[in-house]
Amino acid sequence: MHYRVLGRTSLEVSRLCFGALTIGSLQANLPVAEGAGVIRKALEAGVNFIDTAELYETYDYIRQAIRGFERDVVITSKCYAYTYQDMRTSVEKALKELARDYIDIFMLHEQESILTIRGHWEAIEYLLEAKKKGTVRAIGISTHHVEGVLGAASVPEIDVIHPLINMSGIGIRGGSVEDMLKAIRVAARAGKGLYAMKALGGGNLLERTEEAFDFILSIPEIASVAVGMKTLEEVEYNTSLFSGQPIPEKLKSALRRQPRRLHLDDWCQGCGKCILKCRSGALSLSEGRAVVDRQLCTLCGYCAPACPNFCIKVV
């Protein structure tokens, strides 16, 4: 495994980051022991970086996976807090459920621009205090938006940016692949550490995995890439690929599978709650039921918890 320092932080992270969204209740919903085993296999293969969020409900998996592990593991989490108190509650929950006395990076989840970052300023003030106390080591934002990256680049208090970028531009908001690459360069020049998300376009680029990873790993400003993994085979494939090892044909064929898709059950009542959660504009109502535009859907799974009838699944 190869490692890079994340911007001006002192955090040295593996080029492959374990994206924990996939194992949790929003997506594969693995039993905790099984999901923890998948993470642990990645750690044993040299991954030292785990990306999660309060929303993903994966702290139990991570706590089990790192228990007794002899090397340092860098953990990111994120939340949507606006206020000082709500951010404090989120950070304290993460520390308690991860059984740690610090978290490496804590982020504002899904920022859109400098305006939304300013709107969360009280929450950032809590993170700044936590950083002074040592309970948070770096402050960040995650974003699908070109303006989110540019906004964060202009804020000295933000250390790390987690942008959406992939070779086809799937899910990038407010610009093209080129626009996002330019924003990433601006952020790197401002000293921000950057690690990417959705390199496989939320599963839409699975058929072109090697090409998609070649693209993302060729971006010099990107220190690491968060990749969702839910099986031991996926861990073996991705850790080999990121380490520059040859991938056995047998493993490739074991992983060849149909692209995933968002499934909406036919008992949908058309309440529209899921639509409010979709930042990609992929959901709408048609004839009293939710429908998905698969071109816009990044398979993030964020809409699923909003459904009171459990209609939404990634299959």
**Which residues make up the interface to ligand SF4 (CB under 6 A)?**
262, 264, 268-274, 277-278, 280, 282-283, 290, 292, 297-303, 306-307, 309, 311-312
- Computed over its alpha carbons, how large is the radius of gyration of the chain? 18
Q: Is the dihedral of CA 241, 2, 160, 65 positive or negative?
A: positive
Query: Which one of 56, 59, 61, 195 is the catalytic residue?
Result: 56
Cβ at position 88, least distance to ligand SF4 in Å? 27
* Residue 56 known to be catalytic: yes
Would you list the DSSP string of 85-147? HHHHHHHHHHHHHHT-S-EEEEEESS--SHHHHHHTHHHHHHHHHHHHHTSEEEEEEEESBHH
Cβ at position 171, least distance to ligand SF4 in Å? 7
Cβ at position 211, least distance to ligand SF4 in Å? 23
Cβ at position 111, least distance to ligand SF4 in Å? 16
Beta carbons of 93 and 63 less than 8 angstroms apart: no
From the number of C-beta atoms within 10 Å of its C-beta (0-12, 13-18, 19+), residue 64 rates as: middle
Pairing of strands 49-51, 16-19: parallel
Cβ at position 308, least distance to ligand SF4 in Å? 6
Question: Which CB sits closer to ligand SF4, 177 or 271?
Answer: 271
Question: Which CB sits closer to ligand SF4, 191 or 270?
Answer: 270
Question: Which CB sits closer to ligand SF4, 76 or 280?
Answer: 280
Measured CA to CA, the distance from residue 235 to residue 242 in angstroms comes to: 10
Contacts of 304 (CB under 8 A, 6+ apart): 26, 274, 312, 313, 314
Question: Which CB sits closer to ligand SF4, 15 or 144?
Answer: 144
Question: Which CB sits closer to ligand SF4, 127 or 227?
Answer: 227
Catalytic site positions: 56
